[in-house]
Structure 1
Amino acid sequence: MNDLAIVGLGYVGLPLGLQFAKNHCQVLGLDIDKAKVDAINAGKSYIHHISQESIEEQVDAGRLKASTDFSLVSESRAVVICVPSPLNKNREPDISYILETGAAIAPYLTPGTLVVLESTTYPGTTDEDLRTVLEQGSGLTAGKDFHLAFSPEREDPGNPDSKVAMIPKVVGGLTPACLEKATELYSRAVQKIVPVSSCRAAEATKLLENIFRSVNIALVNELKVVYEAMGIDVWEVIEAAKTKPFGYMPFYPGPGLGGHCIPIDPFYLTWKAREYGQATRFIELAGEINTSMPNYVVHKVADALNTVRKPLNGSKVLLVGLSYKANVDDDRESPGYILLDMLKNTGAEVAFYDPYIPVIRPSREHAHWAGTQSVEWNRATIASFDLTLIATAHANVDYQQLCDWSQLVIDTRNATQGLQTSTTIVKA
């Protein structure tokens, strides 16, 4: 009997499964992607910041295994759902992965099983949408025959100090008994549990966390443009402001938002709020500012090329850093793709360099870039481009070398701060 089955073996599900396995739980990983299942069973990692040794150790100990067979849910005391919850082409919530997963596991639920949703979503998804699918497919009643809860994922990829066991776990249950079961489960792998009154409160907690970040990033993005017009370096201002030991938290500007949370989560609440006749003007304004940043960057690229008498149309532009965040191989919702598209559509010849993404993987949003390879890191290659655009600041990139080899540099991440070079560097 498995202590738990985790559905979805991506950036959330795999680290969570490893943490439970390290705490001597029997973990079954379920995924429709056979390549991921085969990799885990072979003790191999497909996520950069998760070591092969960590997977191999748990597989060899018999505490971690993976399968594409969802009927094995019947052999698990708990099921944790960690599947994507993107936006559709109309920027509306797409919970189809959640509901499809619910339908897939429902026939195999047994009395007493705990089902926990971790995918970020709007309040009401767990106790309305998912509950309905589970009850219809199983013939069981949530809160009576099986337990149902929501616990938002809190992953910080690329942060070596971020450990699953050390991040407090918010948990909300459909009933007090559901909350008790979920608390009992997570207590086996996480040091601190934060119980809340309901699934909806837990769902709202996750949205608040990422809306907070979205709004504050929008603020510094707006200030970046304002301060530039005044001849003030926003990066210098942020460094000075963060010396204040109270009442301030630093946020940093960039070329746009990326990742599976911050560009998406605010729109989940905005969409749901309309059902209650509520406006979310603050959230929507932040979204407008953040989504406008790639346009701002492309204008800076065009202006910089104009200073050396080159039009953007026909120029060669190298984008450095395609992942959405420094030091990870996660390119979901990366603004780098928007920049590549915008530059290409203006007639520029574009390419990218990223040590974490040697080749662009297939995806729904950027299928036209699939198979494109990162350029080689050498002087001749870098120097062949008219302009280098730093979109993500990976720690393992030599920016001194990059600047010395480049003809012209646009820096959206302050990666070149303090460097001495004869190459012109423009902050954007």
Structure 2
Amino acid sequence: MKPITTSFLLASMALAIPALANNIVPTPKQSHSVLIKNATVHSVSNGVLNNTDVLIENGKISAVGQQLTAPQSSSQTEVLDATGKHLYPGLIALDTSLGLVEIEMVRPTVDNAEVGDFNPQISTAGAYNPDSELLPTIRYNGITHAQIVPSGDGLAGQSVVVNLDAWTVEDALKPSLGQFHLYWPQIKRMPEDEKKKAEAITKNQQAIERISQAFEDGYRYFLQSPKEDKTEQGRYSRWQAMLPLYQGKAALFAHADSVNQIEQVIALAKKYRFKLVIVGGYDAWRLAASLKDVNASVIYPHTLSLPKRKDEPVDLPFKIPSLLANAGIPFALGFSSDWNSRNLPYAAGYSAAYGLTPEQALKSITLDAAKLLGITDLGAIDVGFQASLVLSDGDILDPMSNKIDAIWIDGRQIDLNNRHQQLYQKYLKR
């Protein structure tokens, strides 16, 4: 047998890539009213409402209360009896690479980072795949929306927010606050050798200086920029892309965990008066006063992680959300992954077992997540909010009792079929 050449393998993978798409047809726009009756409604904005009805019209929640009736203006209303079931807002997954990564070990299916350490003009919208095989499985756990985040070094680019049932990226996009992602330099493992240690420190400092200089250059362009001069936009596309950040129309999502990193990011935000969100924030609870001084929020994605230091309690990552809450720091929970972001509700469940109330834990992956993204009509079951809802037999934060019966995105009841279900049914017949 002849050896398989590298070129043959690459060609085979390239041919296989188009097959990496799910066959679930997105649900059409809502065409009739839906009345969900007698549910235990976890409204997030107004507590838990027992035996409550929710009316959905034109993709929005039009009424919440008891003994609601079908609207006379509607020619057809679908009535669902949800007695004994729980109705939740759709969950929002923050800090994910969904739609950018299909198979981590197959490089042609990974498109989550660009070359270089300064790419503010790059948006993940250009690489997002709404046909990803991962999406139907992710939303089966109650996740209806996700923040699609670039990876890399330095200023890696801009993220977008999408709903997880759409034909195209344009259909999927949800208007939100501009989001620039900065990965603050760090020495991941300090060498023991003194010479190598000095080299690592120098290299890290040089990376910080490059970032500082890039933001200073961007600020100078902001002060002098010909904002209406279209001929300059191509030449200075990086600086032009950053204008919303200096104008206060976008936020800097700074990926930082240690006290030292967070303090440096806070200094940067203060200098340019940036809206600041710390992503990671492992030590953020130790810097409550400094974070409040710049009105910063935190996306905490480490709930199911191990401690970062050997001398820390093994359950500290579970407790940090409650420490953030007790410190009065606005926060939301995230899950920095692609496929594994489906575990977001269970991460919130862990935080509820280690200090947060169940209501706080649910809010951290719904309404608080939406607010952090600058979205005002998502994450709660209230009149005027988007009808992105999840109907479950049990507690959505508990993997043992959670059983999703139905999901709506913008009033559209989506297909719950997915790859996991297909394989389960297949091997039942073996």
User: TM-score of the superposition, structure 1-length normalised?
Assistant: 0.25
Q: Which has the higher strand share?
A: 2
User: TM-score of the superposition, structure 2-length normalised?
Assistant: 0.25
